[in-house]
Amino acid sequence: MAQVYIVTGAASGIGRALCQRLLSDASNKVCACDINYEALAEIYADHTLAESGGSLILQQLDVRRVDQWQDVVEMVLNHWQRIDVMCNVASVLKDNWIADIVIPDEVDLHFDINVKGTIYGTQSVVETMRQQGSGHIINVASLAALSPVPGLSLYSASKYAVRAYSLAAGMELEQYGIAVTTLCPDAVQTPMLDQQKDKEQAALTFSGSRTLTVDEVVDAIVGPVLKKRPFEMVLLPSRGVVAKIANVFPQTTGNFVDTFRKQGAKRQAKSKN
């Protein structure tokens, strides 16, 4: 069924792959948003824009700016009169050791983009979806939202907040016909992962048996997430079980961190080749 989508982080990684998959169905209508408008214009140059009768809107968006979120929603409603699916994908990650001096700007960056950006994106479409009596908000968190990750404390903390907010939103908004799904993927082969390949702090990111592809994440979104509208989906499920157990027993988990870090460091080294 044709739907109207808003997707953030559409110039790279999961957001880019998701938009391209959605646009492969000519009946879908997509508003692709990113702070880097030049990249959007280059990536989607072959698509016909909505102004010319096409099914694509390109919109520069800083997810930290409420006024820009209002502009996005207004533009989409002016073109297509409804919003069916909001996909909050945009995210940042900077590795950090707790014992090192953390730059305040890096703290703000994680919480302004990952947390506030997701909250603002969610809030921006609630009233429209409530009036429609339907809608689906998909917030991309991380496996790091299920279990703390030493070396990525700011990122992990921000994704914990994304997950907590999204689950609460799902419980509140269900009465209005609005589903909220929190998607928690393990490490995904994206530019964000590439920046971690040389960082000792990020070794635990590579502790799984393999990394996910963006297509696997998109398959999950356009498949079971959109069809079943769950509160939460974890990729891979087996890693999710381990992460949730680790979260319940942090003292015990702490005893095995070095083992997992060494395992991750070996796979991290292989990923450079």
By residue count, the chain amounts to 273
Q: Are 132 and 86 in contact (CB under 8 A)?
A: no
Order of strands across the sheet that contains 4-7: 56-60, 29-34, 4-7, 85-88, 135-140, 178-185, 232-235
Does residue 44 have an active-site annotation? no
User: What are phi and psi for residue 11, nearest 5 degrees?
Assistant: -95, -5
Q: Which of 155, 160, 165, 176 is catalytic?
A: 155
Q: Are 235 and 183 in contact (CB under 8 A)?
A: yes
**For the chain, what is the radius of gyration of the CA atoms?**
19
Residue 81 to residue 75: CA distance in whole angstroms: 9
What Å distances lie between residue 218 and 16, 20, 33, 230, CA to CA? Answer: 10, 10, 17, 15
DSSP class of residue 140? E
SS3 call for 64: coil
Residue 17 to residue 11: CA distance in whole angstroms: 9
DSSP class of residue 256? T
Which residues are catalytic, by number?
155
